[in-house]
Chain A
Amino acid sequence: MMGVRVAAGGMRPDRVTVARGLLAVALALVVLKGVLPDWVMRLPEGMVLPFADWINAGFAFLRDDLGLMAFTRAFADVVEFLLDVTANLLYGKSRWPDLGPIPWVVIAGTMAVIGHALGGWRLAALSGGTFVWIAVMGQWKWAMETLSVIVVAAPLSVALGLLAGIAAWRWRGVERVLNPLLNIAQSMPHFAYMIPVVVFIGVGPKAGAIVTIIFSVPPMIRMTMLGLRGVSPEIIESGKMCGTTRWQLMTRVRLPAARTELLIGVNQVIMQSLAMVVLASFIGMPGLGQKLLQLLQALKIGLSVEIGITIVLLAVVLDRLTKAWAHRQPVHHAAGASFALRHRMALVWLGIVVAGVILAQLSPYFVEVERKQALSLAGPVDAVVDVVITGVGPVTDWLRWFLITWVLIPLRDGFLALPVLAVLIFLAGVGWRVGGQRSALVCLAFFLPIALSGWWDRAMITVYMVAVSVALALAVGLPLGLYGAAKPARAGRVLLVCDTLQTFPSFIYLIPVIMLFGVNDVAVVAAVMVFATVPIVRYTIEGLRGVPSEVVEAAEMSGANRRQVMWRVKLPLAVPTLLVGANQSVMFALFMVIIAAFIGTQDLGQEMQRALSTTDVGKGLTLGFAVAFIGLMVDHLLLTWSRERGAALRTGV
């Protein structure tokens, strides 16, 4: 109760009145649209601005007049050289240095040693086991094609991010320019990055690597700034008193002291790289992603499940390894420890390498497992899937039919039937309610360009898919979160599952839904919904657990029963956190809707894929910005709301 009243008191009444007025106008426009002029419905042709042509002109200028092409080609050549080296080492492509391929036993052993060094036996088993699985399943070459790109892209990304982050930390001007760019970059869908790269570089592994680098830099920049800002001033002062020069202070004091944040940045870079590398199959990047794409398109469920498992295992291993590295604290050796004791890991590793090389000499099986020697799960999986599909087939068929005819199509038509002006006024009203005039203007600034770009209908389809999926995700995620938060031990387990699910590249979520629903809108909505449920569950649990125990105890002492405590005390206090979760859920949903386009949707993502295949930069980026702006607007609204609620609750309690 108290939360509700406080919030109402905190909101100035004129804000509510203005918002109500705007919403009433929007409603009137919808109701009366039959008698209103056409331009209320859709902006007239004359008002549509040729954003695409402008962007194309800009790119042509960059490419032809500024000679940026030469520069990008030079950079691409460096990347290509590095890619050739890793390709040779990892899967034996005949390029310099002509040493590879490194036998898979050696790589699997090395990964196990790294796992042990960073996180003990369990991590050793997980990371070594993953590589053994890849090898014996006969996916070695594809996995190595994927990894060879990550091995090149991630370090370059980290280096670029580190430099940009340091510059932004050092000069406020750089930060002012970089911050909005990062905001937009992090809400741009993957495909929007690919199109300019295809124009400048072409298709193939090189382009895949470069798009991966660009895509994964932003989190490193952020974490670098965060880490450098967070170093305690006394550590810096003590460094200065030791007589460090600026360079020494940066390299020996600031950066090492920011180690944890920087390594979390590395973790994010690697996870983003993996997600992107898988998707880069759309621009001809060979590897696991391409295989998965082909198999999914051919509806070979069993084989795609095999690849899906590999991608998931790789994601989990890379995530756990880098996180363990980030959180590992240095420990001293006992005084007088012998050389062998101090370098035990290195010696074990050396032993494994030697043993692996000897094994590889004895049998080519230990260098690479031939396709015909490989194990396969596809047969049994397909059999099981067949049984399941025939079992649940009637149910899913009915569900599909019901959802399409009674929910999705009517909703889509409803969204499309909304007059442009009504939507804009409605958004302004919501903005005004949440954050006053400023927020109303922010909403318009993000949405008006979409109306002006001429892609309104496509954008509304995207909005409708996201809206439906997030609504379903809330319906599923909130109860799950409530269930999870009920007991501390259970909460920990559920959070771990959420963490793990979040590390999967989004592409993976398509496998089960295609299996169940085939290729259509329902599959897309289902995939998006599953993906968007994860953050909701997670933030519900965190929000409920964050409620101070004294508040709960006070409510219990005033005689509230469990239901009342939940509905009157805990949930209202958790609202700010829940809003943050909802926000993340919308962002995930947007990304996923766009990725799912290749299953065949009619939204912005579909158009983006077309732009990709015709390498139309202008169109692609216009669409990319449209998606980013939808995301940024929701982000602004939900986070402002969350902040206001949080502030109101803090002053109220």
Chain B
Amino acid sequence: MADQEVVISCRNLWKVFGDGAEKLDLTPRTTVEALRRSGHVAAVRDVSLDIRKGEMLVVMGLSGSGKSTLVRCLARLIEATAGEVLVEGRDIGKLGEGELIDLRRRKMGMVFQSFGLLPHRTALENVAFPLEMRGQDRASRIARASEMLALVGLKGREGYFPRELSGGQQQRVGIARSLAVEPDIWFLDEPFSALDPLIRREMQDEFLRLKGMMAKTIVFITHDFDEALRLADRIAIMKDGAVEQCDTPERIVMAPATEYVAKFTSAVDRSRVVRAGALARPVAGAAVEGAAVAADETLHGLARMLLCDPRARIPVAGRDGALVGLMDREAAVEIVLGPVA
């Protein structure tokens, strides 16, 4: 992933709500308390991130930690108070109105936390709306919109108005709408929050498929750690507007940068996160015996084998079959069973 070009990059991004926020002198040392005393709310504090092409960044954090605000700044739905956002190398804070509209029409899609459907349009017309704005002709946009609705499992509901759909159905209309223009950059603010577990799982699978097919750059907000683990390339954990840590799921869980992140991830089943590759130690002359396990397999997936296998050290092989190293079985079992209560 590291070799791909950076698509979205933000530098020392701040969003402070309250009167006269533009005039504040914001430095990395400005504290939340100081701002609160002057009657301001810091929703995003000094965030710097790089998101690469085809990467999926999952943003997590407690309610009110600034996730939605961060994404709104990235899409320039609200103006950042300080710092800059570069999209494909261009500072979107400096784009003119026409350029911004063009960027949104061609490149960006967004799913909103509370859906944001247009109440006076049917599901089909809602999905076709961005195409209409692009000036696409009627027949082709209706065809495309029906296809998108079918993709999210809403075939037959094309003529329904948002009021006549359940929360989960409305959410899927929102997802279909954001996909209609085939965006390269996709912002998703808790896109599955209103879905039942079954459909949720289906949508996640669909999602992974789309992501694999089209190399989209995705920023995804969720409260669900399992979802994050399934989907994320990297996870950013936010607290009070600041990003505490932004790293691979494995490192977030195994090597938390701050106490807060450690607490945040304490309930996570580590065996579902840690992959065999992470435990592989150099062979260093030890004996290599038996079949190797795949480096990108989670310990959870290997649990049965780990418990039954007589070997003390198990060889780990990369995707190309080459030996990566040896995994200490006892250490792996320790993780699977969890710490002694």
Residue numbers of A with Cβ under 8 A of B are: 232, 234-235, 237-246, 248, 252-253, 256-257, 259, 329-333, 335
Contact = CB atoms under 8 A, between A and B. Distances in A.
Contacts of B119: 235, 256-257
B159 A330 contact: no
Interface stretch (B37-45, B100-108, B212-220, B242-250): B100-108
B101 A244 contact: yes
Contact of A238 (B101, B116, B122): B116
Given A235-B119, A256-B118, A257-B119, 18 more contacts: A237-B110, A238-B112, A238-B118, A238-B174, A239-B129, A240-B77, A242-B104, A242-B133, A242-B177, A243-B101, A243-B105, A243-B133, A256-B121, A257-B118, A330-B120, A332-B122, A332-B164, A335-B156
Nearest to B123: A332
Interface in B55-88: 72, 75, 77
B134 interface: yes
A465 B97 CA distance: 59
Contacts of A242: 104-105, 129-130, 133, 177
A329 B115 CA distance: 19
B159 A335 contact: yes
Contacts of A332: 122, 159-161, 164
A329 B130 contact: no
B118 A239 contact: yes
B114 interface: yes
A234 B178 CA distance: 14
Contacts, number: 83
Contact of A235 (B97, B101, B116, B133): B116
Contact of B117 (A235, A246, A330, A333): A235
Contacts of A241: 75, 77, 104, 108-110, 130, 178
A331 B161 contact: yes
9 A-B pairs closest in CB distance? A238-B116, A243-B105, A234-B116, A242-B130, A332-B159, A243-B104, A256-B120, A241-B110, A243-B133
Nearest to A236: B116
A31 B112 CA distance: 71
A331 B122 CA distance: 9
B12 interface: no
27 contacts: A232-B114, A234-B113, A234-B115, A234-B116, A237-B112, A238-B115, A238-B116, A238-B117, A238-B174, A241-B75, A241-B109, A241-B130, A241-B178, A242-B129, A242-B130, A243-B102, A243-B105, A243-B130, A252-B118, A256-B121, A330-B163, A332-B122, A332-B159, A332-B164, A333-B159, A335-B158, A335-B159
Given A332-B164, A335-B159, A240 B104 contact: yes
Nearest to B72: A237
Nearest to B120: A256
B177 to A, nearest CB: 8
Contacts of B109: 241
Interface string B124-153: 000001100110000000000000000000
A321 B116 CA distance: 30
Contacts of B97: 245-246
A356 B105 CA distance: 52
Given A243-B133, A244-B133, A248-B133, A237 B161 contact: no
A266 to B, nearest CB: 16
Nearest to B135: A243
Contacts of B101: 243-245
Choose among A238, A256, A332 the residue with the greatest number of B CB atoms under 10 Å from its CB: A238
Contacts of A245: 97, 101
Contacts of A239: 118, 129
B78 to A, nearest CB: 9
A335 B102 CA distance: 35
A246 B133 CA distance: 12
B209 to A, nearest CB: 23
B85 to A, nearest CB: 15
A330 B161 contact: yes
Contacts of B108: 241
Contacts of B77: 237, 240-241
A331 B120 CA distance: 10
A25 B83 CA distance: 64
A337 to B, nearest CB: 9
Contacts of A234: 112-116
Given A242-B130, A244-B133, A331 B110 contact: no
A259 B114 contact: no
Nearest to A240: B77
B74 to A, nearest CB: 12
A329 to B, nearest CB: 6
A441 B134 CA distance: 57
Contacts of A253: 118
Nearest to A259: B120
Nearest to A239: B118
Contacts of A248: 133
Nearest to A234: B116
Contacts of A330: 120, 122, 161, 163
A240 B92 CA distance: 15
Contacts of B102: 243
A237 B133 CA distance: 14
A245 B156 CA distance: 31
Choose among A243, A248, A257, A332 the residue with the greatest number of B CB atoms under 10 Å from its CB: A243
Nearest to A246: B97
Contacts of B156: 335
B191 to A, nearest CB: 13
A243 B164 contact: no
A257 B161 CA distance: 13
A527 to B, nearest CB: 43
A219 to B, nearest CB: 23
A165 to B, nearest CB: 19
Contacts of B178: 241
Nearest to B101: A243
Contacts of A257: 118-120
Interface in B220-256: none
A314 B75 CA distance: 52
Given A332-B160, A335-B156, A335-B159, A243 B116 contact: no
B99 to A, nearest CB: 11
Nearest to B126: A238
Nearest to B107: A243
A329 B104 contact: no
Interface string B17-53: 0000000000000000000000000000000000000
Contacts of A244: 101, 133
Contacts of A331: 161, 164
A335 B156 CA distance: 7
A51 B275 CA distance: 88
A238 B173 CA distance: 12
Contacts of B177: 238, 242
A231 to B, nearest CB: 10
B120 A237 contact: no
A256 B101 CA distance: 21
A234 B114 CA distance: 7
A607 to B, nearest CB: 49
A253 B116 CA distance: 11
B118 A235 contact: yes
A332 B154 CA distance: 15
Contacts of A237: 72, 77, 110, 112, 116
Contacts of A335: 156, 158-159
Contacts of B117: 235, 238
Contacts of B113: 234
Interface in B169-215: 174, 177-178
B216 to A, nearest CB: 15
A168 B204 CA distance: 46
Nearest to B183: A241
B110 A238 contact: yes
B62 to A, nearest CB: 21
A259 B118 CA distance: 12
B260 to A, nearest CB: 29
